[in-house]
Structure 1
Amino acid sequence: SIIGSGHSFFTESGVANTYFKQAQKQLDLVQSSRVKLWAEIRWDSRWKAIDAVIVNYNAIIKALDNISEEGAGSISINAAGLLMHLKKSIFIITSFILHQIFGLI
């Protein structure tokens, strides 16, 4: 999943995580958090993962944009790919719909 790929991208790379934290600070996110793992068997983890993406969406986009422009090699390519998927309207709309549905469970 895209959310799972985003979680892996930001948690497995210290560089990507640093960009993410810098973006959160630059955007003055009061309710900042880490990107959460989307577990296949736990509904509440899915809601938490989507909630973290929604809360941190601007910071995630900013971090991926900065990495894709400033980075080199595979990290830059991976950031550009994730950025492309996260900006698609279908991802944004689906995220908000799932957030509402999973929030009720």
Structure 2
Amino acid sequence: MSHEMVGLNKEGEEIAYVRFTMADLNAHLLYDILDANEHNGGVSGKGASESYSLSQVESAYNSYNDLNIDLKSSNGQNEFLTWQQKEISKFFNNCINTAQKEKIVTICFC
């Protein structure tokens, strides 16, 4: 089981992707900051989608970055965490770029 978050453009094409193991706390963090806890099935997403405006995605990314800074200073960093943070940043940046162009981006929580 795993949590997958897929960013989609208006045509339904995948523009962003990030995956977490079922117990990964970062998955649950992203549900929280995207205000999507109703789509969290515990060990995976429920398969539902939400549409987000540019300001909503930017706000979520800023929240992630603020929390991430606190985690770095308190826990240090390891190789996997560094890789995962880059993947999450890439996911958000792709969603932001799409929302800038199309005014909206859809995220599917699988």
How high is the TM-score relative to the length of structure 1? 0.41
Larger RCO: Structure 1 or Structure 2 (Cα < 8 Å, ≥ 6 residues apart)?
Answer: 2
Structure with greater helix percent:
1
Structure with greater strand percent:
2
